[in-house]
A = this chain, B = another copy of it.
Amino acid sequence: MQYSAAEENYIKAIYRLQDHAAMVTTNALADALQTKPPSVTDMLKKLKAKKLLNYEPYKGVKLSAEGKKVALAVVRKHRLWESFLVSKLQFGWDEVHEVAEELEHITSKKLIDKLDAFLGFPRFDPHGDPIPDSQGRITIQPQVRLTELPLHQSAEISAVGSQSPALLELLKAKGLQLGTRLDVRKIFSFDRSLDIRIKQQASVNISFELASVLFVKTC
């Protein structure tokens, strides 16, 4: 079966919202999708008819097993395209979302699987979110905040908790990017700032605020 871009967007939004609330409400969806509640109601009826979700009027909505499969497929497409844009086309992390939002609706499964192979079957996207494999399985994130990394434990930056241009600017200035190998040399108790050493290079001092939006995987 194949779904329209609008349908896929609803499914994806419900999938996201499900994590934070047992039942997804009409208004929450309208908010997330930048649309109005009546439009949501209409679409929910349609998706219910297609058995992608369980919806009872006034009660809220949850994805069916089939719906979750569709959601994972869309998430897979989105995150693979983001990975492509960053690792091959030199986009910044803060620029990829909108474009991936369009690319994720391209329908060829073959395309996505070949793209996956071309990228070397990455398990995390540039924001550190897991990429479902072609069966929809996802690897649980083994990453921790840099603030939680033990001293002298070697690790690499695997995700960034925000995509603000301000953060991007700071990271560039500090010479930090996705994949940068580092370990923590010292933690200053005064301001909880960290001295980190970048893989056989000089040390830099970074603030607690910065360290807490950086995620690392030990290696």
Contact = CB atoms under 8 A, between A and B. Distances in A.
A49 B110 CA distance: 39
A110 B99 CA distance: 10
A115 interface: yes
A106 B108 contact: no
A195 B108 CA distance: 40
Interface stretch (A54-62, A87-95, A139-147): A87-95
Interface size class of A (residues with CB under 8 A): 10 to 19
A53 to B, nearest CB: 26
A65 interface: no
A6 to B, nearest CB: 14
A66 interface: no
Contacts of A103: 103, 106
A75 interface: no
A69 to B, nearest CB: 21
A118 interface: yes
A89 B88 CA distance: 13
A102 to B, nearest CB: 5
Contacts of A111: 85, 89, 99
Interface of A: 85, 88-91, 95, 98-99, 102-103, 106-108, 110-111, 114-115, 117-118
For the complex of A and B, 8 pairs with smallest distance between CB atoms: A89-B114, A99-B108, A102-B106, A99-B111, A89-B118, A88-B118, A103-B106, A89-B115
